[in-house]
Chain A
Amino acid sequence: MSSMHEHKIETPNEKQNRHKAMESVNVLNTLKEGFKTPPKAMDYFYNLFEDVYCNQKALHKDKVKVGTMCIQIPSEIIYALDGVPIRLCNGFYTDDEIGSDFLPQKACPLVKASVGHLSSKNLTDKPDMIYSPTTCDQKTKAGTLIASFGYEVVDVDFPRTKESEISREFFRRSIREFSADLSQKMGKKLSRKNLKASISKIGYAQSLYHQISEFRKNKIVPILGNDIFLVTNAFFFDKIDNWIEATEKLVEELEQRVKDEVNAAGKISPRIVYTGSPPIFPNYKIPLIIEDSDGIIVADETCSSNRMFNDRVAVDEWFVNDMIDSLADKYLKACTCPVFSKNDDRIRRIVELVRSHNADGVIYQAFAGCTVYELEQRSVLEAMEREGISILYIESDYSPSQHGQLSTRVEAFIESLKIKNRNKK
């Protein structure tokens, strides 16, 4: 009898979990039910996100988990040493609010959310160590902050220009140090065999992404951009073999969809290339607005998706040091991150994506507080104007509040693209 009257007060962690589950379910339900029927193979990814973010399921209990603060830590090396890379970039508003206690009001929501999440110590796959490349100011400082919560954080030096020979040598050395450090912690040596195997495994995963990109170049696009964000986002933390298997199934299904002319979008939906601050689950605010407003995202230039898969590693002689150097070059020279002094490579990538995917326009999102993307806005807009490509620049954050205003702007842009297309004919 007495148990009926027992009141259990929710702990802060339980509250955090509940709020995050609510955010997750919201997005997953929209993806599952808010659009035309998604590919069957997407169920794996919907379930994965539900398991991890609603049911707190740990995926890597028996493995050493290596947290990474940015894209520039080569996961090839982590896998070769039997670790599991976990990318700690976070998209939850719940965690963003927790992180606000540690960072300035105007800081980037992604950094705040990542810090907030780690400060709560409420992680299903808690990283055993964290590598923090010194990319943007906020990420760089966040590393130290996170260390103060009791995590083992190692800074990995990252240069802010990439054209010079010095920067190439610098980062090659930096990655060699990282490999040595991790190798020592894992008690395992990098060998020609294990590094080559992990390079070809990641390379194969990348080739699956590229196959999907080919389908998205078609006139009839077989899958939503939001679903693709979910697939690439899963690569942050999923078991890589499971991810590969699930993505293979998706590739097969998409191939069939292309043959059957199954269109994920409408007949005249404008084709959008998405660029800027990365959409990370469940912050698919802008991508969802775009595809809700009858746009279809056919490609993206972000570090949560395209940038993880686009660039490959080539080696002339498969010696460990050659592989490490080539990895370092890939993660530095091909990187289109806005932290660099010049952004010509990023502009060329966007233009190339627009051309190859036959896109009608570009939508550029910057998180309020994501200084580097805000700073590059002007040069990208100018370049797009020169190339005759329509572009919309939007500032947003993780809060659910400004939905109405944002969707009005996106809808107007997409409508204008439709009118433009109609006039062309």
Chain B
Amino acid sequence: MFIDLEKTERNLLVSYAMKSKIKKIINNMNLSRVRFWIQLFSFVLFVYGGYFAIDLGSKLPIFTCPYNEQSGATCYLIPLQHQLSMPAQILLGGAGISVIVGLVTFLFWFIFLNKAWCGYVCPFGTFQDWLTSLRKSMGIRYSTYTQNQFERLSKIKYVLLAIVLLAPLLMGVGALGSEWSAAFCQICPARIISPMFSGDLSQWKIDFSTKTSMILTAIGMIFAGLFLVGSFIKKRFFCFFCPMSALHFIFSKFSIVQLTKDGSKCSTCGDCYAVCDMQIKDIADDVKSTNILRDDCILCLKCVAACPENDALHFDIFKIRAFSSTREGFEKRMGLHKPKGDSGE
């Protein structure tokens, strides 16, 4: 009896030690390296999946654009717009079910990663990070918005989401012509840029078939140009305006993964804000909210990695801390080692 008890106790202790060891390894990880490889893998999967006959369906919560023929899946905004553009009587009849099924499939994907789809999987996001690396290697400093600009520009993504939803609906009731189907795709820079990844430059053109198409595709060209320039000088330039990001945010509370903050441990030092690609101020200044995921967040977790306070910020899966800010992890990642020689190497 006693021996058994001792044994279970020892086993418990061993498993506890194992657990804390694994935790330590995760919390001390080099996040930027881990993220780079996940992003590279996802990029290949979604941009070149077609070569490997991979098709993950058409309800993905990321900009994996089928205008690129080799893409391994389709962005949900495409079927969504198509479904909503059906004539009103059909949409309100049986076809409404397909909209719901589509949304449920989208949500099924979405709840697993929440906005980490943006920070880790979206090939369009990854591409922007690579443009950032290019800029960095050229020794050019990034630019930022002022707080006023930030607040004003931050609303654009909801305007774009409204275009995604309303343009097809208005077409369905006959208020707009058929060239308005997938109106957002016409102006979306991903339609023009994604095919370039497999060598297809054919989307760089203006469609002169109708006046509306001409205007929409011309805007698309301008956006694509802005995208390339913008994401070179500003980190994650497009994500700030992305309607998918707006759509994510509506459902973000239902996800199994969350970004959480313990304000009592926060010193508002601003380290998390300093590394935030999206310039989210709340991450540093809000010490009251527990759920600190904001609409612009791409859940890249750089803030957690840059936070020097134990457990002040953490990434939770099913409310269990999967990745926490720790002092030790911070020191490792920031390279705070014992200095060699005299001051100033």
Give A residues with C-beta under 8 Å from B. Answer: 79-80, 82, 163, 165, 168, 193-194, 197-198, 200-201, 203-204, 206-207, 210, 240-241, 244, 248, 310-317, 319, 321-322, 325-326, 329-330, 333-334, 344-345, 348-349, 351-352, 355
- On whether the beta carbons of A345 and B334 are closer than 8 Å, the reply is no
Contacts of A322 in B (CB 8 A): 141, 274
Q: Once the chains are docked, how many angstroms separate the CA of A316 from the CA of B306?
A: 9
- On whether the beta carbons of B339 and A201 are closer than 8 Å, the reply is yes
> Interface size on B (CB < 8 Å)?
40
Q: Once the chains are docked, how many angstroms separate the CA of A204 from the CA of B332?
A: 11
Whose C-beta in chain A lies nearest to the C-beta of B135?
Answer: A317
Q: Once the chains are docked, how many angstroms separate the CA of A322 from the CA of B263?
A: 25
A201-B343, A314-B334, A348-B264 are contacts. A333–B274 as well, Cβ < 8 Å? no
Instruction: Classify the secondary structure of B's interface with A.
Output: loop
Contacts of A244 in B (CB 8 A): 338-339
- On whether the beta carbons of B306 and A314 are closer than 8 Å, the reply is yes
Whose C-beta in chain A lies nearest to the C-beta of B308?
Answer: A312
Contacts of B336 in A (CB 8 A): 200, 203-204, 206-207
Chain A: minimal CB distance from B6 (Å)? 25
* B 233-267 to A, binary, CB cutoff 8 A, 1 in contact else 0: 00000000000000000000000000000011111
Q: Once the chains are docked, how many angstroms separate the CA of A325 from the CA of B144?
A: 12
Q: Once the chains are docked, how many angstroms separate the CA of A329 from the CA of B269?
A: 7
Q: Once the chains are docked, how many angstroms separate the CA of A275 from the CA of B171?
A: 67
Q: Once the chains are docked, how many angstroms separate the CA of A395 from the CA of B207?
A: 79
Chain B: minimal CB distance from A233 (Å)? 21
Whose C-beta in chain A lies nearest to the C-beta of B139?
Answer: A319
Q: Once the chains are docked, how many angstroms separate the CA of A82 from the CA of B342?
A: 10
Q: Once the chains are docked, how many angstroms separate the CA of A241 from the CA of B343?
A: 8
Q: Once the chains are docked, how many angstroms separate the CA of A82 from the CA of B345?
A: 11
Whose C-beta in chain B lies nearest to the C-beta of A317?
Answer: B136
Whose C-beta in chain B lies nearest to the C-beta of A201?
Answer: B339
Contacts of B306 in A (CB 8 A): 314, 316
A312-B269, A317-B136, A348-B264 are contacts. A326–B339 as well, Cβ < 8 Å? no
Partner of A241, one of B136, B287, B308, B339: B339
B window 264-313: CB within 8 A of A: 264-275, 277, 281, 284-285, 287, 302, 306-308
- On whether the beta carbons of B285 and A326 are closer than 8 Å, the reply is no
A79-B343, A203-B331 are contacts. A352–B274 as well, Cβ < 8 Å? no
* B 326-345 to A, binary, CB cutoff 8 A, 1 in contact else 0: 01001100111111001111
Partner of A329, one of B274, B308, B345: B274
Chain B: minimal CB distance from A309 (Å)? 11
Tell me whether B197 is interfacial, beta carbon within 8 Å.
Answer: no
- On whether the beta carbons of B141 and A317 are closer than 8 Å, the reply is yes
Tell me whether B209 is interfacial, beta carbon within 8 Å.
Answer: no
Q: Once the chains are docked, how many angstroms separate the CA of A321 from the CA of B274?
A: 12
21 contacts between A and B (CB under 8 A): A194-B344, A197-B343, A198-B344, A200-B334, A200-B339, A210-B327, A241-B339, A241-B343, A311-B267, A312-B271, A314-B274, A314-B275, A314-B306, A314-B308, A315-B334, A316-B306, A321-B141, A329-B269, A330-B270, A352-B264, A352-B265
